Structure 1
């Protein structure tokens, strides 16, 4: 769920605990076979299925998931996870409604609590406003959870996008990690970069356009895994400034599927795919 660009996988590894809810959390288990993929996007996801751990999605408390995703915006998991843990330690607990607790929080105190995360002053304001919204609209965090898990995904997404500080990726992460909704492929910086670099999405596509391509071309049951695995692939192989193929074309497990849009091994240059498009026109 993070927005880091080139985190070292040794410093920001795949979590040891399945935070998505695990096998009992909901979702549909998928099988991965690149040989039978119907689209190039599905073939990439199936290759990722051979590289990384597979999991099902859903099971997280929806409001807690929303808080976690807001904290992760524009920062790495290494920074946002301690902030999340500190927030829950101070504002959550048995018999405590997290939305009520955050709505009543002192902003300065909350900002200090989440100071490990970037933009903590801004995020503290957003978190308090989000908690106030959840209480006004639903009455409690539990009622918000029921809404996310029980209502039509399109209606849930539309409702979340009306909240300040909640963008498409945040809304989609709540649908995926809390609701366990199939066919949801959140687009963060890694996903946005990689599927344009491979040529699967247009080089000038925005985040929403990339999401549209992926949710069209990747089977419903594989979208959630595709999101998390693509992030890990971006950390380890297809980095923003130093993709593995730059030094060794054979180093990347997607080499035969990638158009290398914006990557120029002959000159050791890497640009955003949109810049590569502009240069070719």
Structure 2
């Protein structure tokens, strides 16, 4: 099994190692995740601070980890504090309180490397204010994410301005450690439809529904992070590895290659290939 790459893969850099059974897949989507488990790593997720996970995911919207990670680090240096503790409930310093009180122009400058910094700073301050009002701060919000029913948590997250399905699912996965959550980003959306794991016309939510139905709960979080890495290394948007021949892609035999013409070496979005 390959080593996990050093880049931050959707917050999976400090996840715990895990092992799940492979070889008895009940669906093609599960077989794909099993193959990714042989190609990359097998991890289980959870344990991150819920509000920090929310902030990190907002920062990652419409940008890469290369850009969003420095913004996150700068934000934590400016507004975080080592004396904040989730485990013992101490609230000497609360990140949500600090960001709710932040001056937007200062926060925007702090996170400028992430792009769309004016919009993201508004979202972060608004989310912090909402969380302070409803949960008393980051500690209460973390408890809510970990202890309440996933559906209730997801609904509450989606009711926060700037939080979409992918952001909500990442908080459920990386903070709540919830099984059966398969966040869908651009890579997952493209790959699932290209491979035929979801309909070509499926939007992000429909892709999520198909993957969560077809992949066992304990494999969903890993499937999300590994599929992102696979999309970066093999199944890119413009030049997927299969254009170099079947041997170039480790998942070739599992893939319908919707929108990929290996003869003409052209690639279109699956929805365009499927037509009306």
Q: Name the TM-score, length of structure 2 as normaliser.
A: 0.92
One of 46, 52, 72 as aligned partner of 1:84:
72
Q: Which runs of 5+ in 1 are unaligned?
A: 1-11
Tell me how far apart the structure 1 counterparts of residues 149 and 19 of structure 2 sit (CA, whole Å). Answer: 23
Tell me how far apart the structure 2 counterparts of residues 119 and 98 of structure 1 sit (CA, whole Å). Answer: 21
**Is 2:218 the partner of 1:221?**
yes
One of 17, 25, 31 as aligned partner of 2:20:
31
How far is the alpha carbon of 1:36 from its aligned partner? 1.0
Question: Does the 8 A contact of 1:99 with 1:140 survive in 2?
Answer: yes
One of 43, 47, 57 as aligned partner of 1:59:
47
**Is 2:148 the partner of 1:159?**
no
One of 178, 202, 207 as aligned partner of 2:204:
207
Partner of 2:262: 265
Question: Does the 8 A contact of 2:8 with 2:65 survive in 1?
Answer: no
Q: Cα deviation per residue 1:228-247 (whole Å; 9 max; x = unaligned)?
A: 00000000000000100012
Secondary structure of the 1:111 match is helix
Question: Does the 8 A contact of 1:30 with 1:221 survive in 2?
Answer: no
How far is the alpha carbon of 1:32 from its aligned partner? 4.0
Question: Does the 8 A contact of 1:32 with 1:47 survive in 2?
Answer: no
Tell me how far apart the structure 2 counterparts of residues 122 and 32 of structure 1 sit (CA, whole Å). Answer: 43
Partner of 1:47: 35
Partner of 1:277: 274
How far is the alpha carbon of 1:265 from its aligned partner? 1.4
Give the root-mean-square deviation of aligned CA atoms: 1.5
Tell me how far apart the structure 2 counterparts of residues 113 and 120 of structure 1 sit (CA, whole Å). Answer: 9
How far is the alpha carbon of 1:171 from its aligned partner? 0.3
Name the CA shift for 1:19/1:224 in 2 (closer, same or farther; >3 Å): closer
Secondary structure of the 1:266 match is coil
**Is 2:187 the partner of 1:190?**
yes
Question: Does the 8 A contact of 2:259 with 2:268 survive in 1?
Answer: yes
Question: Does the 8 A contact of 1:40 with 1:200 survive in 2?
Answer: yes
Tell me how far apart the structure 2 counterparts of residues 260 and 142 of structure 1 sit (CA, whole Å). Answer: 45
Tell me how far apart the structure 2 counterparts of residues 32 and 259 of structure 1 sit (CA, whole Å). Answer: 25
Question: Does the 8 A contact of 1:198 with 1:259 survive in 2?
Answer: yes
Secondary structure of the 1:116 match is helix
**Is 2:93 the partner of 1:104?**
no
Partner of 2:87: none
Q: Equivalences for 1:116-265 in 2 at 5 Å?
A: 116-265=113-262
How far is the alpha carbon of 1:46 from its aligned partner? 0.1
Q: Name the TM-score, length of structure 1 as normaliser.
A: 0.90
How far is the alpha carbon of 1:215 from its aligned partner? 0.4
Tell me how far apart the structure 1 counterparts of residues 103 and 12 of structure 2 sit (CA, whole Å). Answer: 28
How far is the alpha carbon of 1:21 from its aligned partner? 4.5
Count of aligned positions? 262
Question: Does the 8 A contact of 2:46 with 2:177 survive in 1?
Answer: yes
How far is the alpha carbon of 1:15 from its aligned partner? 3.8
How far is the alpha carbon of 1:30 from its aligned partner? 3.9
Q: Cα deviation per residue 1:112-153 (whole Å; 9 max; x = unaligned)?
A: 000010111100011000000001111111000000000000
